[in-house]
Structure formats: C-alpha cells, structure tokens
C-alpha cells in the first residue's frame, strides 16, 4: 500500500467575491491577488485539489508558498473539444500567474498537462504526472493506466511512452476507464470514487505498475489490496515543482551580495 496523504486542512478563502466556477480561495483571473503570490502557482481544474497540495506542502515542503488557480471550465471544454481547444486559455492563465510573481507553475490536470508544458511561459511549467510516468517506466515494462475521465487516457499513455523513450526502455501500456467514478467525484462523493478506483486496481493482473492518471484518484491508494505498485501524481509532482522553484529562486547569499531582500512569504492558499 502506498504512503497515505496526510489529513488536510481546507484553504482559507481570500477576500473578495469568488468568480463563477472558481474556489473562494483561488486566484480570480484578471484581479490583483489579495496577498503576495507564492513562488509556485498551481493550475487546477477542481478545487478539491487545493487541500491535498496544501497538506503535502505542509508535510514535505514547509515554507513553499503556493498560489492556486482553479479553472473548472477548462476541463469541461477539453473533454468536449480536445485539449488543443483550450490552449490559448491555458496560456492566459499561466501568463497571469507569472505576472503575479510565480517562479514555476505546476499543472495538476492530466488532460491539460501537455498543453501547459507547451505554452512557452517565462518560468518552468511542469505537469504533475510526469514524475509518476517516469516512476512507472522504472517499475517495469507492463504498465496499466486507470482513469475516471476518458480524455485523460490518451495524454497519459503518450507521456508514459515518452518517458520510456527517454529512458531507453520498452513499455507496454494498457488502459482502463473506471466507469461511474468521475460522476461520484463530481458529486462530492470522493470516498465512493476512491472505492471504485481501488476495486479496478485490485482487478488488474500481469502488471508491473498501476498508474492513477488523475490527481483526484489518489485516495484510492489507501484502499487497494494489490501487491502491484499503485502510483499517483501529487506527491511526486509537487516535489519536482518545489525543486524547480528552488532552482529559480536567488539564494540568500546572492540577494545579500546584490543588496536585495528576500520576498515576503505567501499566505495564499493557507
């Protein structure tokens, strides 16, 4: 069984009325942030991811400022018209995040990850599932991808195959869509969604790794009984993004030599 994600605390909402389809604690497109932007911006398509990443930050990356941008409509449109149809909107969201001070951006939506990576932003843009894909390739050649949204399967398979080519390894990827799980998640029944995903994982045979294609599927890791490694993206993805922030952040020594001062810590999303 994979390590459990720690208990989470909901993000404290920022001041001001929320926009349609956005979490009260998330950034409002086009509006000035209520507090200094964190060095890491996260692009979500569900507000349910905010407490998950805040908890991981508190447990493993203390002091890392986070700024959450929730754009639920992007996933709906990408599912209907394809990820390329929302590329311009993704680019706009990322530009606003960079303008607000982000030193790196983490896209937590697997459907939009490839689009986000190709936006040409002025800071590193990472997709949350790339480290997970690399770990799956390292586990062995037989990889099974589980998803609750069909639009995620293609991008995830392509990513795993890309990581296999980069590693010089052969890989065989099989996929399975977990029927009805997304409807439960969208209705707020995250426990029911997790149970369906865990049952699907336990039914997998002849695999070296099972990939949970979406960050929203992570709670299923605590419910599986299979001996096959079950991989999810939030912990690995946030660790990679935190490393990118460190590479982009001037050291205290460098700031002292240049006469600059350290930026104030961000409280957004806390």
What confidence score (pLDDT) does residue 248 get? 85
What confidence score (pLDDT) does residue 75 get? 92
Q: What is the mean pLDDT of the chain?
A: 83
What confidence score (pLDDT) does residue 97 get? 94
Q: Rounded distance, CA 172 to CA 144, Å?
A: 8
Tell me the per-residue pLDDT of 74-125, one tens digit each, with 9 for 90 and over. Answer: 999 999 999 999 999 999 999 999 999 999 999 999 999 999 999 999 999 9
What confidence score (pLDDT) does residue 38 get? 54
Yes or no: say if 42 and 102 are a contact pair by the CB < 8 Å rule: no
H runs (alpha helix) in 24-170: 49-60, 72-81, 87-99, 113-117, 130-139, 150-167
For β-strands 230-231 and 66-70, DSSP reports them as unpaired
What confidence score (pLDDT) does residue 261 get? 38
Residue with tokens 């040409």: 120
Q: Coil, strand or helix: which one is 127? A: strand
Confidence of residue 30 (pLDDT cuts 50, 70, 90): very low
Q: How large a percentage of the chain has pLDDT more than 70?
A: 78
b/e per residue, 79-88, with b = 16+ CB within 10 A?
beeebeebbe
Q: Which of 85, 79, 86, 56 is nearest to 68 (CA)?
A: 56
Would you give the DSSP letter of residue 216? G
Tell me the per-residue pLDDT of 183-223, one tens digit each, with 9 for 90 and over. Answer: 999 999 999 999 999 999 999 999 999 999 999 999 999 99
Least confident of 15-19, 108-112, 137-141, 178-182: 15-19
Which pTM was predicted? 0.76
Q: Backbone phi, then psi, for 25, in 5-degree steps?
A: -95, 5
Average pLDDT rounded to a whole number, residues 2-14: 36
Q: Coil, strand or helix: which one is 84? A: helix
What confidence score (pLDDT) does residue 42 get? 97
Higher pLDDT, 244 or 262: 244
Q: Backbone phi, then psi, for 175, in 5-degree steps?
A: -130, 155
Least confident of 18-27, 233-242, 250-259: 18-27
Residues for the chain: how many in total?
Answer: 270
Residue 268 has pLDDT above 50, yes or no: no
What confidence score (pLDDT) does residue 250 get? 65
Average pLDDT rounded to a whole number, residues 156-168: 97
What confidence score (pLDDT) does residue 57 get? 96
């Amino acid at each position: 069984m994979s390590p459990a994600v720690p208990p989470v605390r909901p993000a404290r909402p920022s001041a001001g009325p929320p926009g349609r389809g956005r979490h009260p604690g998330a950034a409002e497109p086009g509006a000035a942030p209520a507090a200094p932007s964190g060095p890491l911006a996260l692009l979500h398509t569900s507000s349910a991811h905010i407490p998950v990443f805040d908890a991981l930050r508190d447990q493993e990356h203390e002091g890392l400022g986070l700024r959450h941008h929730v754009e639920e409509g992007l996933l709906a449109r990408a599912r209907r018209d394809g990820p390329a149809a929302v590329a311009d909107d993704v680019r706009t969201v990322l530009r606003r995040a960079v303008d607000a001070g982000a030193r790196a951006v983490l896209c937590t939506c697997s459907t939009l990850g490839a689009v986000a990576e190709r936006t040409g932003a002025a800071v590193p843009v990472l997709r949350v599932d790339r480290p997970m894909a690399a770990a799956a390739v390292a586990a062995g050649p037989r990889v099974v991808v589980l998803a609750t949204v069909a639009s995620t399967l293609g991008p995830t398979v392509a990513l795993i195959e890309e990581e296999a080519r980069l590693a010089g390894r052969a890989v065989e990827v099989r996929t399975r869509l977990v029927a009805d799980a997304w409807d439960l998640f969208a209705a707020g029944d995250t426990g029911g969604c997790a149970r369906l995903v865990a049952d699907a994982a336990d039914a997998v045979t002849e695999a070296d790794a099972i990939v949970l294609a979406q960050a929203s599927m992570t709670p299923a890791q605590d419910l599986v009984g299979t001996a096959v490694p079950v991989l999810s993206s939030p912990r690995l993805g946030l660790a990679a993004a935190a490393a990118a922030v460190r590479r982009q952040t001037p050291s205290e020594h460098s700031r002292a030599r240049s006469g600059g001062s350290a930026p104030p810590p961000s409280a957004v999303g806390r």
